[in-house]
Amino acid sequence: MNIFIMGAPGSGKGTFSSRIKEEFDLNHISTGDIFRANIAGGTELGNQAKAYTEKGLLVPDEITNNMVKDYLSHLKDKKNGYLLDGYPRTLDQAKAFEQMTEGTDLMVDEIIVMDVPFEELTRRITGRRMCKQCGEIYNIYSKPPKQEGVCDKCGSVLTQRKDDNEESLKTRLSEYAKNTEPVIAYYEEKGMVKKIDATSSIEEIWPILKEALSQ
């Protein structure tokens, strides 16, 4: 099973990706997480990506495509397939991915789109907090930690992503509308998309998503 999970910023991609990955034992690749880890580690890739991600702009296709190609070539267990989260985000990336995987067992089978109305996205993004240590995601409005600012799972301090501010969010939403919605339309035409209404709570959405993936 090879899956793309797509959706606007705040649509729940990250939260549900970790559940899907565990439930179906998939290789999880999140381009956003890879960029953030590289920025934190001060690598060359991180230095190239930093200015774009912090402003909410997309990292240029060439850099992103090369990074994904490299990850695919190092997949540990190809048999189980992958869950690709945050890619492709432009039509160029979608076409590049087709070229990379054409005729191999890495071609994508299904595209999951997490669908959330735009008004709800802002609340989710500005309330989001993350554990720097273990990556657990919280929201001060809908999923607060037991103790303010502290991770329930590992006790580390919670932080806010650099791009989770109103200014960067505006840019991320317009990048999504301009570049990523056409990618969804492209796969819809091919009949590969499953749209999930992701407006309600995590516990309500999860069984629906799991069922959609089991079909």
Ligand X SMILES: Nc1ncnc2c1ncn2[C@@H]1O[C@H](COP(=O)(O)OP(=O)(O)O)[C@@H](O)[C@H]1O
The annotation status of 15 as a binding-site residue, yes or no, is yes
* Candidate list 13, 21, 124, 129, residue with the active-site label: 13
Interface residues toward ligand X, by CB under 6 A: 9, 13, 31-32, 35, 52-53, 56-59, 64, 86-87, 89, 93, 163, 172
Contact 180, 90 (CB under 8 A): yes
**From 21, 124, 128, 129, the catalytic residue:** 128
C-alpha 157, offset from chain centre: 23
**Residue 146 main-chain phi, psi, to 5 deg:** -60, -45
Q: Is there a catalytic annotation at residue 128?
A: yes
Which residues touch 106 (CB under 8 Å, ≥6 apart)? 2, 72, 75, 78, 82, 100
- Of the residues 21, 124, 129, 172, only one is catalytic, namely 172
In the complex with ligand X, the residue whose CB is nearer, 59 or 209, is 59
Residue with CB nearest ligand X? 32
Beta carbons of 29 and 68 less than 8 angstroms apart: yes
Least separation, in Å, of the C-beta of 31 and ligand X? 3
- CA distances 160 to 35, 77, 93, 142, 201, Å, are 16, 33, 28, 15, 21
Residue positions forming the annotated binding site? 10-15, 31, 36, 57-59, 86-89, 93, 128, 131, 134, 137-138, 151, 154, 161, 172, 200
Query: Which are the catalytic amino acids?
Result: 13, 89, 128, 161, 172
